[in-house]
Chains A and B, each alone.
Chain A
Amino acid sequence: AQSVSQHNHHVILSEAASLELGCNYSYGGTVNLFWYVQYPGQHLQLLLKYFSGDPLVKGIKGFEAEFIKSKFSFNLRKPSVQWSDTAEYFCAVNAGAGGYNKLIFGAGTRLAVHP
């Protein structure tokens, strides 16, 4: 069965620090990859997605992620975090080619950024 692993459950950073959140998935075929963010009290929002093409994906708010097929990874990065980035981040995989396949979510990473 497909699965998504997020290795960091809680991350605490100071403003301006760099961020990298790990995400690994288990599926050998074609995948679509997503990072969602959930700010406190708000609904899930899409940060970025990878379907095909350039494995380095740019998202909103300065986030980016790199798809490394050989490592089954899709890590999220931001060079300099802000207090407003405090939120929970979810990696998700939509496995299989074509069709509206279901999303498998990772457990989430709770990021706290201190001023």
Chain B
Amino acid sequence: GAVVSQHPSRVICKSGTSVKIECRSLDFQATTMFWYRQFPKQSLMLMATSNEGSKATYEQGVEKDKFLINHASLTLSTLTVTSAHPEDSSFYICSAIDPGGDTYNEQFFGPGTRLTVL
């Protein structure tokens, strides 16, 4: 149980275009999901907390207008990188918490999406 998927796994886009990344909880309903960014050989940095039915909470230094987060349902959160530039190239990872299980406060991670902006 507690499986999180991401789509796509890899995406290459041209500079200036927008890219949408989906994060799904497959076997549970997640009221809260998280979006992280991982640079090569570095740790995960939390970008934002995605709350179902309300606005996302962004970490300091993360541009809200550039990284649009939508958590429209209990199983889906999307991250849209708008007007992507090469410096946005990174590994984006989502996670979710299963409020209904016995895994209180444990985050289940998706496999990540590698974004390359040319």
Which A residues fall within an 8 A CB radius of B? 32, 34, 36, 42-46, 49, 51, 90, 94, 100-108, 110
With A51-B105, A94-B105, A103-B34 already in contact, the answer to whether A44 and B46 are too (CB < 8 A) is no
Tally of chain B residues near chain A (CB < 8 A): 21
Query: CA of A51 to CA of B106 in the docked complex: distance in angstroms?
Result: 10
B54 within 8 A of partner (CB) = no
Verify B93–A105 contact, CB threshold 8 A: no
B97 within 8 A of partner (CB) = yes
- Shortest CB–CB separation between residue B53 and chain A, in angstroms? 15
Verify B46–A103 contact, CB threshold 8 A: yes
Q: A51-B104, A104-B46 are in contact. List 15 more A-B contacts (CB 8 A).
A: A34-B106, A36-B109, A43-B110, A43-B111, A43-B112, A44-B44, A45-B109, A46-B106, A49-B106, A51-B105, A90-B44, A100-B32, A102-B34, A105-B44, A107-B43
With A42-B111, A43-B111, A43-B112 already in contact, the answer to whether A106 and B43 are too (CB < 8 A) is yes
Query: CA of A44 to CA of B34 in the docked complex: distance in angstroms?
Result: 14
Verify A100–B43 contact, CB threshold 8 A: no
Verify B49–A102 contact, CB threshold 8 A: yes
B-side contacts of A43, CB under 8 Å:
93, 109-112
Which B residues fall within an 8 A CB radius of A? 32, 34, 41-46, 49, 93, 95, 97, 99, 104-107, 109-112
Query: CA of A16 to CA of B31 in the docked complex: distance in angstroms?
Result: 43
Selected contact of B43 from candidates A49, A102, A108, CB within 8 Å: A108
